[in-house]
């Protein structure tokens, strides 16, 4: 089932079940997707989003909520931090499974070997290949330094 259809079905289920916290999060996802579609229509595009676009939106939403939760915890607002954590769990249900550290290292090594990357100047090509192959599955903030280490070794 397509991600967009899964989100719509989950929203309907949450409405029927009267699960207000889940419904609220699903509606936030829907609003973010709609905003992105409208922005895409503004240019030359027709406003259609690919699965990769949807995954990128969801990943960004998780990252935003993680930052907010951290800020709330530092500020002593634990109830707000808990709400952000609940939203993260709902959003992550619709993201592909995240790669483990071992899988990430293996994917980096494979990308380097496939591209024949030899030095730091090839880092951009390796990162582009990883983003193409593993969008939504890999933490690219952590992968960047790992790629750099591999290329310098």
Q: Is it the case that residue 43 has pLDDT exceeding 70?
A: no
Q: What mean pLDDT do residues 92-108 have?
A: 86
Spell out the domains of the chain, with CATH numbers in brackets.
3-92 (1.10.1510.10), 101-152 (1.10.10.410)
Q: Per residue in 44-95, pLDDT tens?
A: 667 678 887 888 888 889 989 999 999 999 999 999 999 999 999 999 888 8
The confidence score (pLDDT) of residue 66 equals 92
Neighbouring residues of 134: CB distance < 8 A, sequence distance ≥ 6:
99, 107
Q: Is it the case that residue 17 has pLDDT exceeding 90?
A: yes
The confidence score (pLDDT) of residue 45 equals 65
pTM here is 0.72
Q: Is it the case that residue 9 has pLDDT exceeding 80?
A: yes
The confidence score (pLDDT) of residue 131 equals 85
Q: Is it the case that residue 113 has pLDDT exceeding 70?
A: yes
The confidence score (pLDDT) of residue 37 equals 87
The confidence score (pLDDT) of residue 16 equals 94
CA–CA separation, 131 and 143 (whole Å): 10
CA–CA separation, 45 and 24 (whole Å): 29
Greatest CA separation found in the chain?
56
């Amino acid at each position: 089932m397509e991600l967009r259809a899964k989100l719509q079905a989950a929203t309907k289920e949450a409405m029927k079940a009267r699960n207000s916290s889940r419904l609220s999060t699903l509606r936030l996802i829907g609003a973010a997707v709609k905003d992105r579609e409208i922005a895409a229509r503004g240019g030359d595009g027709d406003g259609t989003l690919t699965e990769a676009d949807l995954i990128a939106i969801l990943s960004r939403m998780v990252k935003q909520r993680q930052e907010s939760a951290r800020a709330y915890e530092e500020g002593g607002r634990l109830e707000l931090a808990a709400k952000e954590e609940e939203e993260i769990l709902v959003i992550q249900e619709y993201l592909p499974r995240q790669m483990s550290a071992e899988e990430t290292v293996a994917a980096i090594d494979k990308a380097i070997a496939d591209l024949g990357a030899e030095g730091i100047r090839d880092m951009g090509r390796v990162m582009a290949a990883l983003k193409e192959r593993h969008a939504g599955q890999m933490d690219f903030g952590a992968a960047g330094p790992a790629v750099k280490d591999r290329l310098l070794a």
